[in-house]
Amino acid sequence: MATYTYNRDIPDAPNNPSVDQPDMKTNTNSIDSLINEDHYSFGVNNGGFHKQVRMPVLGAIPAGLIGGSGTIYTKTINNGAGNQAQEFYTNGASGNEYQLTRADNTNFPTFAAAQNGWTFLPGGLILQYGNAVTTGLNTDVVFPYEMTIAYSLTTTLAFNVPTSFSSLSGAGFTFSANPTANGRRFNWMVIGR
């Protein structure tokens, strides 16, 4: 974002207006340029509406919060793929912090992918999903996004074939099915952090 010049206390009462005129022109042009940075400016359709929202990355909850109002801000966290800016919300001056995003450029190719992918749930949980084909008695499944811990896993195989899973970790699990199910597709879904 650019830096704009602004002259405070202009016009100044004791000055002749012609003396303050260059500074007033600078101020007026700076206001228009500043507004036009992230908003539609004066004299255009949608004037005053946001074009985009950009926020500096902070190190913590912003200071000076006011009770009865909410604040959205960004800060950098390490989500296992390096430090990346994430969006947070805090309610008034409570000090409670809610993570709203989990941008992860390293794992972006599998974010919300059609068949095997992951998504972020506000508050820090990760939901992953996918399908695979059984390869004998045991089939190893690797999650698209490696988590610290997996809390709950659900698997589904059609035709009422007895199934189970083992070795559940943040990286994946082993799916076990009756040998008669060899070559059949199964679905899975896991929630973790």
SS3 state of residue 94: coil
Return the structure tokens found at 76: 């950098």
Asked whether residue 121 carries a pLDDT value surpassing 80, the answer given is: yes
Distance CA(131)–CA(147), nearest Å, equals 18
| pLDDT tops 90 at residue 175 | yes
Q: What is the pLDDT of residue 1?
A: 61
Whether 124 contacts 99, CB under 8 Å: yes
* 75-84, 111-120, 176-185: range with highest mean pLDDT: 111-120
Residue 80 has what pLDDT?
66
pTM of structure: 0.74
pLDDT of residue 8: 94
CA pair distance 191, 87, nearest whole angstrom: 21
C-beta neighbour count of 128 within 10 angstroms: 22
Q: What token pair was written down for 19?
A: 């003396």
Alpha carbons 161 and 175: distance in angstroms, whole number:
12
Helices (H) and strands (E) in the chain, counts: 1, 11
Evaluate whether 98 touches 90 at the Cβ level (below 8 Å). yes
Judged against a pLDDT cut of 90, whether residue 182 lies above it is answered with no
Residue 107 CA to residue 142 CA, distance in Å, equals 14
Read off the tokens for 137.
């008695």
| pLDDT attached to residue 45 | 92
Q: Within the chain, which residue ranges are assigned CATH 2.60.40.3940?
A: 108-192
* pLDDT on residue 64: 87
In the chain, the DSSP E strands lie at 57-58, 70-78, 83-91, 97-99, 117-121, 125-133, 138-142, 150-157, 163-166, 172-177, 185-192
What is the topology classification, in CATH, of domain 108-192? Immunoglobulin-like (2.60.40)
Q: What is the mean pLDDT of residues 103-118?
A: 91
Residue given tokens 């007026």 in the structure block: 28
Question: Which amino acid is located at 44 in the chain?
Answer: V
